[in-house]
Amino acid sequence: MVFILQKTLIFTIPLLIVALAGVFAERSGIINIALDGIMIFGAFFGAVMALFLRTNVPFFVSHPQLLFLTCMLFAALAGAAFSYLLSISAIKFNANQTIGGTALNLLAPALSLFLIKVFTSKDQLEMGTAVDLAGERRDFSYVISNGNLPGFLRVFFDKAYISTFVCIGLFIVLSIFLYKTKTGLRLRACGENPQAADSVGINVYKMRYLGTTISGALAGLGGYTYIATVANGTASGAVAGMGFLALAIMIFGNWNPLGIALGALMFGFLKCLSVVYIQVEFLAKLPLPMYFYNIIPYLAVLIVLAFSAGKSRAPKAEGIPYDKGQR
Amino acid sequence: MKEFLKKDGTRSLIASILCILGGIFVGFVVLLLLAIFTKDIPIGQAFQGLGIVLSGPFSSGRNAMFQLGNMLFNTTPLIFTGLSVAIAFKTGLFNIGAPGQYLMGAMAALIVSLSIPSSVVPPAIIWILALLAGALAGALWGAIPGMFKAFLNLNEVIVCIMSNWIAANVVSWVFADSKFINYAETKVNFIVKTETNNIATPTLGLDSLFSGGSVKSYVDISIFIAIFVAIVMYIIMNKTTFGYELQACGFNKNASKYAGMNEKRNIILSMAIAGALAASGAALWALNGHQDFKWETYLTLPADGFNGISAALLASNNPIGVIFSALFLKFINVGGSNLAANTAFNEYVSQLIIAMIVYFSGFARYIISVMKIKGVEKVR
């Protein structure tokens, strides 16, 4: 049971933070379909920095958790920078946001795989290939082990990653920021009625840049978290469609943090089921193949969305370029 | 000449060409920067690399005809997925579900073409049945997001993405441990080729024409079918009441409802047609006869499904334009695949260029509006 909860948490965290990334963009009025691409780019840049820092800065070799945190920061910066491609096209040039996002989704794998292959002649970048004497691949995983803790605490503190605590902390702080601060309120106003926001002196363009940049940073960070925890430290120009799943979770969660937390937890559990079902006795006995468990999370999202469809409340002005002259 | 420049069609063509040039330029800049800042790569390779990408199959010298033939063959599915995305776009729907529809089409066509023994039924009839089965499977799969959109007003992008991954797993599930796996040639990751059941699309000698010495390429008449279907789609969309209704639905759903059109039916039909198109492309690819279909599809979605979006956007969703944009995309893809043999670069450059072209195509409206403003000033 503890094992399943640990796994669930590992799958949930990237979804949680990337779905929040989607909220920041859409609440400010920009559809960010590029979450997947930004995750890929953040993951790539974080992995490059991990390799670079470990080979060139001895300090980080002896402090792996600090290295992990530093790489998360770099991944967030890379994600924010990459998202500027989207915000410039969407905010400055009034381009179609779906096209811009799609382009970023194509660009991120192309660019990262191109660079990975030029420098390593391989199709993927492994943050750590060294296997230590005990046979564990310690270099990239930075696992925190506390096997002696009592049951429930082990879910959070055994076989855990520092990214889990960082992401949960960020999620709480940013949710409060979005709902309880002046800037947060202004940002949300720009996604609902930008003309009204403008009339009271809010700079709509600035707010939308802010929303998309926070969105990019969170998605980049989520991408790095994904490859460092779920994908065994390998950047391969793909994140298994996690960005799109996060997008679905955002809609499922009705663009608000509590709903998203619930959705990410549900989806994380169902997703982890497809990995661990073989270790759960009564599920392993059922004559169902892996493909069945793979389908469940996607099917569950569709069914839940179908039932909650009427109540869905998207930000009113999302996807519409802001035109000052329009009423 | 001035009148010619003022036409909307001319303007969007100019915008497309500018987007292509912009994409190529960015690709070149990336190569150049890499050559400048990396000691092992001479700067000349950046120019050489760009030349290879832009000459497509012709960069391979003696192998050019062979590569050209395979390029024509591989363009067929892309024309179909491009048409699929374009038709949905015209109805105001973003069909990002083409990869899933593609997989369902390939699956249905393979099952039908391998299940009916050609000793009982003439191969030509099986071929037609298999193509129809593929199209039907895709139509049904495409109709699902359409129904979610029409009846529940659920964003089609999300439903399409979910349906992609479901399709990818369903296809693996159906083929796993089935008699369709190619045990005979011990290629257990692949499905039996349809030629073993005497089913192969006619080539009319094209494969011998486009060959490298004694090795024939895969080209068959499916490329002509693709061009024919594109023309038919153009006529349907622009010259019939039905096509007009679909486009009206795309411009303004509520207005078309007010005008007495059944907008729910139009949304579902549009997605079904889009699904049938994407699936037909996959079916024609599979029915070529000589292709190995990897049945474990659950980890990656077919690239041609997503590239259909690029083909459609580059053609401004014009069905005739899709033929040319698909040919162009495959052309530089082949060029990219020739890169690694001659330079330090690799095939991902062409995808990078395509991504940037799509990015710039988002600016098309901006470019056209700038052209319009310039045009007005000249008249004054």
Range of the domain at A144: 2-311
- Is B89 at the interface with chain A, CB within 8 A? no
Residue of B nearest to A252 (CA): B158
Residue of B nearest to A295 (CA): B166
Residue of B nearest to A105 (CA): B355
Considering the domain boundaries, does residue A161 fall inside one?
yes
Rounded to the nearest angstrom, the minimum Cα separation between A131 and chain B is 26
The predicted model gives B59-79 an average pLDDT of 89
Name chain B contacts of A289, Cβ cutoff 8 Å: 173, 176
* Residue B119 CA from chain centroid, whole number: 34
pLDDT band at A130 (very low <50, low <70, confident <90, very high): very low
DSSP code of B191?
E
Residue A132 belongs to domain with CATH number: 1.10.3470
Both structure tokens of B200: 């192969």
Q: In this complex, which of B157, B169, B346 lies closest to A117 when CB atoms are compared?
A: B346
CA atoms within 13 A on the CB side of A138: 12
State how far the Cα of A221 lies from the Cα of A236, in Å rounded to an integer. Answer: 16
State how far the Cα of A9 lies from the Cα of A265, in Å rounded to an integer. Answer: 8
Q: In chain B, what are the domains? A: 2-379 (1.10.3470)
Q: Is the pLDDT of residue A1 over 50?
A: yes
- Top pLDDT among B137 and B298 is at B137
State how far the Cα of B139 lies from the Cα of A295, in Å rounded to an integer. Answer: 21
- Closest to A54 (Cα-Cα) out of A64, A45, A44: A64
Rounded to the nearest angstrom, the minimum Cα separation between B18 and chain A is 15
pLDDT value of position B308: 94
Helix (H) or strand (E) holding B352: helix B348-361
pLDDT value of position A131: 41
- Is B148 at the interface with chain A, CB within 8 A? yes
pLDDT value of position B202: 85
The predicted model gives A254-276 an average pLDDT of 89
Q: For A185-224, what is each residue's pLDDT tens digit?
A: 999 999 999 999 999 999 999 999 999 999 999 999 999 9
pLDDT value of position A134: 44
Residue B361's SS3 state is helix
State how far the Cα of B226 lies from the Cα of B75, in Å rounded to an integer. Answer: 9
Q: For A85-108, what is each residue's pLDDT tens digit?
A: 999 999 988 888 888 998 999 999
Considering the domain boundaries, does residue A317 fall inside one?
no
Dihedral, CA of residue A274, residue A278, residue A280 and residue A283, to nearest 10: 80
Considering the domain boundaries, does residue A149 fall inside one?
yes
Give the Cβ contact number of residue B43 at 10 Å: 12
pLDDT value of position B183: 87
Considering the domain boundaries, does residue A319 fall inside one?
no
Considering the domain boundaries, does residue A189 fall inside one?
yes
- Which ipTM value was assigned to this complex? 0.89
User: Residue by residue, what is the 3-state secondary structure of chain A?
Assistant: CHHHHHHHHHHHHHHHHHHHHHHHHHHCCCCCCCHHHHHHHHHHHHHHHHHHHHHHCHHHHHCHHHHHHHHHHHHHHHHHHHHHHHHHHHHHCCCCHHHHHHHHHHHHHHHHHHHHHHHHCCCCEECCCCCCCCCCCHHHHCCECCCCCCHHHHHHHCCECHHHHHHHHHHHHHHHHHHHCHHHHHHHHHHHCHHHHHHCCCCHHHHHHHHHHHHHHHHHHHHHHHHHHCCCCEECCCCCCHHHHHHHHHHHCCCCHHHHHHHHHHHHHHHHHHHHHHHCHHHHHCCCCHHHHHHHHHHHHHHHHHHHHHHCCCCCCCCCCCCCCCC
The predicted model gives A6-35 an average pLDDT of 93
Q: Which residues of B235-244 are buried (b: 16+ CB within 10 A; e: fewer)?
A: ebbeeeeebe
- Is B140 at the interface with chain A, CB within 8 A? no
Considering the domain boundaries, does residue A228 fall inside one?
yes
Name chain A contacts of B165, Cβ cutoff 8 Å: 241, 294-295, 298
- Top pLDDT among B311 and A285 is at B311
pLDDT value of position B375: 62
Considering the domain boundaries, does residue A73 fall inside one?
yes
Range ranked top by mean pLDDT from A166-175, B307-316, B344-353? A166-175
- Is B224 at the interface with chain A, CB within 8 A? no
Range ranked top by mean pLDDT from A45-59, A64-78, B36-50? A64-78
Name chain A contacts of B30, Cβ cutoff 8 Å: 111, 114
Q: Is the pLDDT of residue A74 over 80?
A: yes
How many domains is chain A built from?
A: 1
- Is A298 at the interface with chain B, CB within 8 A? yes
> Which residues neighbour B238 within 8 Å (Cβ) at sequence distance 6 or greater?
none
- Closest to B202 (Cα-Cα) out of B186, B178, B218: B218
pLDDT band at A141 (very low <50, low <70, confident <90, very high): low
> Which residues neighbour B58 within 8 Å (Cβ) at sequence distance 6 or greater?
B64, B68
pLDDT band at A231 (very low <50, low <70, confident <90, very high): confident
Q: In this complex, which of A109, A114, A251 lies closest to B155 when CB atoms are compared?
A: A251
Considering the domain boundaries, does residue A36 fall inside one?
yes
Name chain A contacts of B170, Cβ cutoff 8 Å: 291, 295
